[in-house]
A and B are shown apart, each in its own frame.
Chain A
Amino acid sequence: MAVEAGCYNFGLAMARATQEASSIPPEVLARYEPVIGLETHVQLKTATKIFCACSARFGDPPNRNTCPVCLGLPGALPVLNRRALELAVKAALALHCTVEERSRFARKNYFYPDLPKGYQISMYELPLATRGWLEIEHDGKTKRIGITRLHLEDDAAKGMHEGFPDSDRNTYIDFNRGGVPLIEIVSEPDIRSPEEAHAYLTALKQILLYTEVSDCNMEEGSLRCDANVSVRRHGEQNFGTKTEVKNLNSFRYLVHALEYEIERQVQTLESGGTIAQETRLWNVAAGRTEPMRSKEYAHDYRYFPEPDLLPVHATKAMLARVRAEMPELPAARRARFVRDYGITPYDAGVLTATRELADYFEQTVRAGAAAKTASNWIQTELLRRLNASGEEIAASRIRPEALAELIALVERGEVTAASGKAIFAKMFETGKPAGRIAAEDGHRQIQDAGEIERACREVIKKNPDQTAKYRAGNEGVFKFLVGQVMRATRGQANPQVVNEALRRLLAAK
């Protein structure tokens, strides 16, 4: 079904930016303290939408996943998706929130073509969860950012302003996204810099991925971020007037937009102006925040309790069910890695970046590799190659058991460290086991002292001049002779054994 929206583009109309931020002397900027709070919208990883049985899948042909409920047809009613509630509760518990015993949906009323019912079903005076916190790490320090509230709501449909022959006159609407479950997570204004905001979003995303609450795919819009920003003089107790900055849909935009907005506010204040409380939009192309037309966003949403849905009761049984499926969270896992595996906090941080990587590390250790060695191999070889190839760890052809086997070969001295890296490269390409590559490519190190001694005798015999020079006291020749032995053994002789054998044989005569 193609839905035509009328003879106008209803895209977010922009008023002209009134102020241009230019660079401000750093010492001026340093006199101010930014105060930032983030509102994050996260799509939940459910199979179906929040209030109907339509698929919540991303990327299907427009308007395939629709029904009377999510199209807002007359007479249709919402029914809460229990899984969406459980995932929201899971996120709330992971963020140390109090899940309210009784919460309630409310209608947020406003007109927009992407809002088929004329209201969004959200939560207002009685949110699902309140008063949580999240720990961020920034500048080597740990800081707690408060979570004010977390609530459930339905996503809007998607206006399609481009790509149709009549796009200059008409807008189309894709209702596939309409009704996909969202949670909104509102932080306290505890964030003091764009970098801390980045760290907050990183930590939040990590928790949501660990708990499998969301796939957090920012390109597909399953993680979206708005910021409330104000500045004040250091030491000032009261908050300055804040602006709401929207459209911060990547980590990069978040940092850039915050930097821009902070500078803009400082400059406005420095030049004797006042900050207007307004909603601003990050203009990616222009690299600046711009005020949205106030008329379109000066809303009185006329919230009232949603009469079509019963209040939500977080029962003990439901909380227990959610707790039972809660995985070990990143912070706990980091601490355990340091404690149990004796690796550094830095290494533990890298290895727990994702749940998959941490699982990989632990499986490698469980398969017999020493923790520190496994940590080194994963960080230097595996992550480097995955980064280069752009693959996910789940897709890696080297399974943890195979890596452990390779590490064992190196540890036992059966292949050299250098050969190990070559074998790793081949394993990464082909997925063949380490032992087989070592054998096929001749990486096995020769340990047999007898064999090495034979090779040494051969080299001494073939190089009488050099042998004589050595015996005459020219130590420099020794390296040459070792090189000859290594060449004769195609590099596979254990260098330690070669050294010993050669010195012994040369001294013997």
Chain B
Amino acid sequence: MSASPNASAGAAPPAGSTAWTVAGIRRALESRKVSARELTKDYYARIERENPRLNAFLALSPDRAYSQADAIDAKIARGEPLPPLAGVPAALKDVLDTRGTETTAGSRILKGYVPPYDATAIERLDRAGAIFLGKTNCDEFAMGSSNENSAFGPVHNPVALDRVPGGSSGGSAAAVAAGLAVVALGTDTGGSIRQPGALCGVPGMMPTYGRVSRYGLIAFASSLDRIGPFASTVEDVARVLEVIAGRDPLDATSADHPVPSYSAGLDAPVKGLRLGIPAEYFAEGLDPAIRQKIEAGIGLLKQLGCVPTPIAMPHTAYAIPTYYLIATAEASSNLARFDGVRYGLRVPGATLGEMYRKTRGAGFGPEVKRRIMLGTYALSAGYYDAFYLKAQKVRTLIKGDFDRAFQQVDLILTPTSPVTAFRLGERTEDPLAMYLADIYTVTGSLAGVTGISLPCGKVCGTLPVGLQVIGPHFEEGRVLRLARAFEAAGGFEL
């Protein structure tokens, strides 16, 4: 009756979790070893058991999940062909709009808000047969690197419960790491998929800007926001990405660029791939234990015939201030719509201005307020040129670093994060130290390129290390191919 682990499908399971994969589920469904409803029930049982200590889910959507599962089971009963993600239990970050399910973006200001429509990526997952278990916890409006900025309490890292899962997509990363979902969607603005992927020990991918429609993603920073997958295996990352990617007429910035079958291209050879190793990413601030793991990972890839090549990315040092100016400027405007007039929280006031102030004062948490203030300042008359405009110019220089690098190499390898999962509360008093956790991820965000974080062994026995693989625009296939080779060679357990 209850679903059994299917270790034969895909790679070895992460420690402490049971490992269903997309392909494994498909085989089990087709051979009627399990029904989609049984699988769904099993995952809800796991969530019920584990979520109280992890706080990974904010809302569950059993009505929708069971009706999706029943639709798959009915297809099987009728002998119809199954869609690509048939019966795959999925967790969805709470900044993604889901029709009929509360969507708060981790904020009090949206408590109780139920969107009337699905985000495009969600709609595509739905059509592909996935089962929507529920919405995952995250930093408020995706602003944070530890998940401690959620209005609904932090997520605990499944590998060490007293530690952060990373952020802002900490709930999605933790859900996959703890086996509470087979796949999950996160969003990445400055590292919010890759960094929690690294800290929780699961692959997490940021697609190229424009690869996946942002329609229905509650905007943090519009020119940086991406939606991307988490999964336990590279193959499943590829399977989710190929479903959600592609042009969407509802997002003017989504690219009209063909979507290859990422899963079909995974096993192409990686021999001879030139891997850029930028010195700037191995400088002061990098935990030596992490450095050692990353170097071991590079060594493994060298054994596979890849060619590590030192490269220079001279504008890396400016990435953090550039990122925080652009992201906060856009956020200050994107979050203006939460004004208490049409939806979400409203705190009455004697005047319109007072209603605005009280609503936003009570509805937003301290980090969101800090970023709105920073962004408002950066756009203000008299400061715009010195801050926002200057940041845009530096962004162009950082993009130039990547353009030049990709003329010499096929992919770039860096650590995902300078630190492993830190303890809850350890950094909350020092926002600047928290911002530096994004130091290796914001560059790719600013450049619009694609990147994945891969598990690359553990330090201190339990704390996962993330290896970041960055590829040129729309070269997700190349990134995934290397990731798959790394996984197959045992890189995850280095």
Contact = CB atoms under 8 A, between A and B. Distances in A.
Contacts of A68: 115-117
A193 B85 CA distance: 70
B267 interface: no
A113 interface: yes
Contact of A75 (B219, B352, B388): B219
Interface of A: 3, 5-8, 10, 68, 71-80, 107, 109, 111, 113, 116-119, 173, 300, 302-304, 307-310
Nearest to A171: B352
B217 interface: yes
Interface of B: 96-97, 103, 105, 110, 113, 115-117, 119, 214-219, 221-223, 249-253, 329-330, 332-333, 335-343, 346, 348-352, 355-356, 376, 379-381, 384, 388
Main secondary structure of the interface of B (DSSP, over half): loop
B222 A308 contact: yes
B119 A75 contact: yes
Contacts of B350: 8
Given A111-B356, A302-B333, A76 B341 contact: no
B337 A77 contact: no
Which 9 pairs show the lowest CB-CB distances between chains A and B? A118-B336, A307-B222, A302-B379, A307-B223, A75-B216, A74-B218, A75-B97, A72-B337, A300-B381
A169 to B, nearest CB: 11
Contacts of A5: 341
18 contacts: A3-B342, A8-B355, A10-B352, A68-B116, A74-B218, A74-B343, A78-B252, A79-B252, A109-B379, A116-B342, A118-B337, A118-B339, A119-B333, A304-B384, A307-B253, A307-B330, A308-B219, A309-B252
A300 B380 contact: yes
A109 B222 contact: no
A106 to B, nearest CB: 10
Contact of B337 (A10, A116, A304, A310): A116
Nearest to A173: B341
Contacts of A116: 337, 341-342
Contacts of A72: 337, 342
A73 B116 contact: yes
A116 B252 CA distance: 20
Given A79-B249, A116-B337, A304-B388, 4 more contacts: A77-B250, A79-B250, A109-B336, A307-B253
Contacts of A310: 252-253
A3 B341 contact: yes
B341 A113 contact: yes
A304 B376 CA distance: 11
Nearest to B118: A75
B210 to A, nearest CB: 10
The CB with the most chain B CB atoms within 10 A, among A76, A80, A300, A309, is that of: A76
A278 B103 CA distance: 43
B110 A74 contact: yes
Nearest to A302: B379
A77 B333 contact: no
The CB with the most chain A CB atoms within 10 A, among B222, B339, B341, is that of: B341
A383 B8 CA distance: 88
A79 B335 CA distance: 19
Contacts of A73: 97, 115-117, 343
Contacts of A173: 341
A6 B222 contact: no
Nearest to B379: A302
B343 A308 contact: no
Contact of A74 (B103, B355, B380, B388): B103
B336 A117 contact: yes
A10 to B, nearest CB: 5
Given A7-B348, A111-B336, A74 B223 contact: no
Nearest to A74: B218
B333 A118 contact: yes
Given A73-B115, A75-B115, A302-B376, A6 B355 contact: yes
Contact of B115 (A74, A107, A302, A309): A74
B147 to A, nearest CB: 20
Contacts of B381: 300, 302
A300 B384 CA distance: 11
Given A6-B352, A6-B355, A117 B252 contact: no
A74 B94 CA distance: 12
Contacts of B221: 307
Given A76-B215, A304-B388, A310-B252, A119 B341 contact: no
A71 B342 contact: yes
B301 to A, nearest CB: 36
A80 B116 CA distance: 22
